[in-house]
Amino acid sequence: MVVQINGISKRFGDHEVLKDIHLDIPEHTVFGFVGANGSGKTTLMKCILGLLPLNAGSITIAGEPVTFGETKSNQYVGYLPDVPDFYPFYNAIQYLELCAVITNIPQKERQRRIAELLELVGLASTTSLISTYSRGMKQRLGIAQALLNRPKLLICDEPTSALDPAGRAQILSILHKVKEETTVFFSTHIVSDAEQICDHVAMLHEGTIIFQDELVNLKHQITGQFIFTFTIPVAEAHERLRHTPFEMKIDSKQLVVSLPNESTQLAFMQELTTQKILIQSMHPKTRLLEQLVLEVLG
């Protein structure tokens, strides 16, 4: 595990923002930390960075304990704040060179590392000043900056929330790519963003983690719902099966059929054979993470 969070609590006065949080973040994964605005996501990230003292519990990063203040564990961490701030009168290369000097990246490595990072974030051919950048470009430069030192953990605070759909898609694709070289922990209130790229997801609600698991496990099967496409148009198949007892409906050119147990599944297959309807594809319907969140929150 790159990050181990063991029972941490954080209060501001009487307000307990984080309550007995446990999280393990495995290496080379994208871990999505989902929660509504004000649920405590930034507070947890600040705790991981040693920027806030804890009221209880402990955190380690790559085995190194996080302490409040100048924590040694930050040598393993790259951080992208929600609104990254740059010197606007530099271009990307000049800015990253400055960062590379400050973070003691050996001179012979600097040029190559900067070039590969600018390539990764899609800014290799941009020579304009940072002051002219869009929000999405600034986020991408922020990711490059955070990765300069080859951190074991990249923390991104709401990296997509201020962006348009194209900008969001670019950031998500970059975060997905960089898990080859690091581990990504990112917060978001946009559940579908987490769903697109995460291996693991945790949801924070009123200071408590209400679920956390691998995304594949969170996408439970909806009992007995199967989605079919056929070699004939779906409306024709639906018409030919109309007299049968099966509960079904057309949804986006597919037939969704309720087959809650093995005997109904077999009976439906037999009916298709009798009707000489050939299956093109068939798969169980899964529920989206968004539905799970709504169910959990009631």
Nearest CA-CA partner of 47 in 31, 14, 23, 28 = 23
Q: Which is nearer to ligand ATP, 18 or 130 (CB)?
A: 18
- Considering the complex, what minimum distance in angstroms separates the CB of residue 33 from ligand ATP? 9
Q: Looking at residues 184 to 203 of the shown chain, list those that interact with ligand ATP (rule: CB under 6 A).
A: 189
For residue 202, which phi and psi values (nearest 5 degrees)?
A: -130, 145
Q: What angle do CA 130, 133, 137 make, to 5 degrees?
A: 105
Instruction: Tell me how far apart the alpha carbons of residues 115 and 248 are, in angstroms, rounded to a whole number.
Output: 55
- Considering the complex, what minimum distance in angstroms separates the CB of residue 37 from ligand ATP? 3
Q: Looking at residues 114 to 173 of the shown chain, list those that interact with ligand ATP (rule: CB under 6 A).
A: 158
CB 161 within 8 A of CB 82: yes
Q: Which is nearer to ligand ATP, 38 or 260 (CB)?
A: 38
68 binds ligand ATP (CB under 6 A): no
- Considering the complex, what minimum distance in angstroms separates the CB of residue 12 from ligand ATP? 3
CB 151 within 8 A of CB 144: no
212 binds ligand ATP (CB under 6 A): no
Q: Which is nearer to ligand ATP, 3 or 130 (CB)?
A: 3
Q: What angle do CA 129, 134, 139 make, to 5 degrees?
A: 95
Q: Looking at residues 37 to 56 of the shown chain, list those that interact with ligand ATP (rule: CB under 6 A).
A: 37-43
Instruction: Tell me how far apart the alpha carbons of residues 294 and 298 are, in angstroms, rounded to a whole number.
Output: 6
Q: How far is the CA of 227 from the CAs of 215, 242, 275, 277, in angstroms?
A: 21, 17, 18, 15
**Two tokens, residue 188:** 């978001």
- Considering the complex, what minimum distance in angstroms separates the CB of residue 164 from ligand ATP? 19
- Considering the complex, what minimum distance in angstroms separates the CB of residue 130 from ligand ATP? 24
Q: Where are the alpha helices (DSSP H) in the chain?
A: 41-48, 92-102, 107-120, 135-147, 165-178, 191-197, 215-218, 234-240, 262-274, 289-297
208 binds ligand ATP (CB under 6 A): no
Q: Which is nearer to ligand ATP, 10 or 152 (CB)?
A: 10
Q: Which is nearer to ligand ATP, 13 or 165 (CB)?
A: 13
Q: Which is nearer to ligand ATP, 43 or 275 (CB)?
A: 43
Instruction: Tell me how far apart the alpha carbons of residues 198 and 190 are, in angstroms, rounded to a whole number.
Output: 12
89 binds ligand ATP (CB under 6 A): no
Q: Which is nearer to ligand ATP, 41 or 140 (CB)?
A: 41
Residue type, 173: S
Instruction: Tell me how far apart the alpha carbons of residues 68 and 49 are, in angstroms, rounded to a whole number.
Output: 8
Q: Looking at residues 3 to 22 of the shown chain, list those that interact with ligand ATP (rule: CB under 6 A).
A: 12, 17
Q: Looking at residues 231 to 260 of the shown chain, list those that interact with ligand ATP (rule: CB under 6 A).
A: none
- Considering the complex, what minimum distance in angstroms separates the CB of residue 167 from ligand ATP? 18
**Which residues are near ligand ATP by CB under 6 A?**
12, 17, 35, 37-43, 158, 189
